[in-house]
Amino acid sequence: MSSTGAPAPGAAWRPERVLFVHAHPDDETITTGGTIATLVEAGASVTIVTCTRGELGEALPDDLAHLRGDPTALAVHRETEVEAAVRDLGVRDHRFLGAPEARTAGLRSRVYSDSGMVWEAPGVAGPTPDLAPTAFCAASFGEVVSDLTAVVESVRPTAIVSYDEDGGYHHPDHVRANRAAVRVAQLTGVPFFAVVAGAAEATGAEAEALAADPVIVRVDTRPVAARVLRALRDHRSQVEVVDLPEGRPGLRWPHGVVDPVATSETFRHVPEPGRASGGPGDAWRAQSRASRVAALVLAGVAGAGVAAIGTVGHRVTTTVAGQPLWTGLVLSVAAVVLLVVGFRLVFGSRRVVAATAVGAYAVIALFSFPSAGGSVLVPADARGLLWTFGPAVALGLVLAWPRVEGGGGRLDVSPPPKGTPQP
């Protein structure tokens, strides 16, 4: 997907192999349908992975009313819709994550079901409090990554495309798809491109900033509009294609709002995508509210436990060659540092580190006061002061740990030179 046009004269043309990772049937067309069709017409090989069947989606037309409230039947119907849509976009390789062709070798196939969502604000989704055991967001993150890695090993893509960090509008399944896709991109070294939500509607300074950004790639989808409209009509259980007064086609969403069909799609290349998303195992936003609360509680308990052990152990001294060494203090502070660094890397969330800090310092403060017998576990001497303030420094540094992003990237959707055989 290149904003610079065709390859330089004399450059060897290399067909792209692009993997699109989407959460539900219809996302592939609504979000990236124009780019998919453009790539196909340019001779690229396109693979689409859909993570769920969209069991908790809509059934808008009255003739599909029998699907309402029946997730199993809706899933079967949406399978037929997405197969028709990808066919109309020109794609011949579509896979459901967890199916045999998108599953870790040696594991039985499985279904990742729709996690559902609730509206937390206009245009902002959030996790449902009742997450099904089979839901995409309830599955082990490692299992999801492993299955998607199997697809990458199968098709050897030159680029991976999925949502940005907030999934476009914070839908939990979109966020988890992003986390899995960027993790796989990091593991395999494949360039990752994130959909820039709302770029087609950008105006003024925002539009100028996008146009000047060197890592932004914009695809003009007008030449493939007919393909995209056919594919959008295939997803009639979810959206309705309507004619707008100005003659442009529009989409009517389940909540009644009508938007014009976009004439371009925009992507941002994300270098070192694992870091840009907050860490290799960052699935924080993809978890349900209950899961996040449980993680915070466990982080606080872990912090309290390590602090309790450290409070007792920081007084231990080891004598080496006649010299006393504060080994207990060193090991106690190191344990706190390793705990909070590990939590930040795994969760990618400062909230978990903060919860750990609250648990740890509640225990340290408790043991700093004299007991009923008058003893103090953290006296106001050198070791006591280092134990009191040393973990605080480590916690502060980890809380302030920034996210790192880089720049630069290219995915070519320019047509092949005349006479080039099509793949």
What confidence tens digit (pLDDT) does each residue in 277-303 have? 444 444 555 555 566 788 888 888 988
Do 297 and 268 share a structural domain?
no
Tell me what pLDDT residue 417 has. 56
Residue 405 pLDDT grade (very low, low, confident, very high; cuts 50, 70, 90):
very low
Do 313 and 221 share a structural domain?
no
Residue 269 pLDDT grade (very low, low, confident, very high; cuts 50, 70, 90):
very high
Q: Which long-range contacts (CB under 8 A, 24 or more apart) does 416-422 make?
A: 416/13, 416/15, 416/42, 416/43, 417/6, 417/7, 417/13, 420/13, 420/43, 422/43
**What residues make up the domain containing 329?**
289-399
Do 185 and 109 share a structural domain?
yes
Element (H, E) at 228: helix 225-234
Do 169 and 85 share a structural domain?
yes
Closest CA to 253 of 169, 172, 176, 128: 169
What confidence tens digit (pLDDT) does each residue in 388-399 have? 777 888 778 877
Domain-ending residue, one of 276, 310, 341: 276
- Flag whether pLDDT at 148 surpasses 90: yes
One DSSP character per residue, 161-195 reads EE--TTTTT--HHHHHHHHHHHHHHHHHT--EEEE
Do 344 and 272 share a structural domain?
no
Count of CB atoms situated within 10 Å of the CB of 75: 20
Amino acid at 327: T
**Phi, psi at 151, each rounded to 5°:** -65, -45
Is residue 325 in some structural domain? yes
Which residues, including other chains, have CB under 8 Å from residue 133's CB and lie 6 or more apart? none
Is residue 417 in some structural domain? no
Is residue 414 in some structural domain? no
Tokens describing residue 120: 């937390």
Is the entire prediction scored with pTM above 0.75? no
Domain-ending residue, one of 253, 276, 299: 276
Do 312 and 215 share a structural domain?
no
Is residue 225 in some structural domain? yes
- Provide the b/e sequence for 14-51 (b: ≥16 CB within 10 Å): ebbbbbbbbbbbbbbbbbbbbbbbbbbbbbbbbbbbbb
Is residue 12 in some structural domain? no
As a whole number, mean pLDDT of residues 403-413 equals 49
Tell me what pLDDT residue 315 has. 74
**Phi, psi at 183, each rounded to 5°:** -65, -45
Tell me what pLDDT residue 272 has. 65
Tell me what pLDDT residue 288 has. 53
Tell me what pLDDT residue 256 has. 84
- Flag whether pLDDT at 157 surpasses 80: yes
Domain-ending residue, one of 255, 276, 297: 276
Residue 3 pLDDT grade (very low, low, confident, very high; cuts 50, 70, 90):
very low
Over its C-alpha atoms, the chain yields an Rg (Å, rounded) of 26
As a whole number, mean pLDDT of residues 212-236 equals 93
Do 161 and 258 share a structural domain?
yes
- Flag whether pLDDT at 343 surpasses 90: no
Do 69 and 96 share a structural domain?
yes
Q: Percent of the chain beyond pLDDT 90? A: 51
Is residue 241 in some structural domain? yes
- Flag whether pLDDT at 125 surpasses 50: yes
Do 146 and 108 share a structural domain?
yes
Is residue 39 in some structural domain? yes
CA distance 9 to 13: 10
What confidence tens digit (pLDDT) does each residue in 38-84 have? 999 999 999 999 999 999 999 999 999 999 999 999 999 999 999 99
Lowest mean pLDDT among 37-51, 91-105, 115-129, 215-229: 115-129
Better pLDDT: 243 or 397 = 243
Closest CA to 313 of 336, 335, 332: 332
Tell me what pLDDT residue 289 has. 59
Contact predicate 250/173, CB 8 Å: no
Do 256 and 139 share a structural domain?
yes
Do 349 and 256 share a structural domain?
no
Tell me the CATH number at 172: 3.40.50.10320
Total number of domains constituting the chain: 2
Do 319 and 246 share a structural domain?
no
Is residue 209 in some structural domain? yes
Lowest mean pLDDT among 213-217, 222-226, 305-309, 396-400: 396-400
Distances, alpha carbon 27 to alpha carbons 23, 33, 163, 267, 281, in Å = 7, 8, 10, 15, 24
Tell me what pLDDT residue 2 has. 47
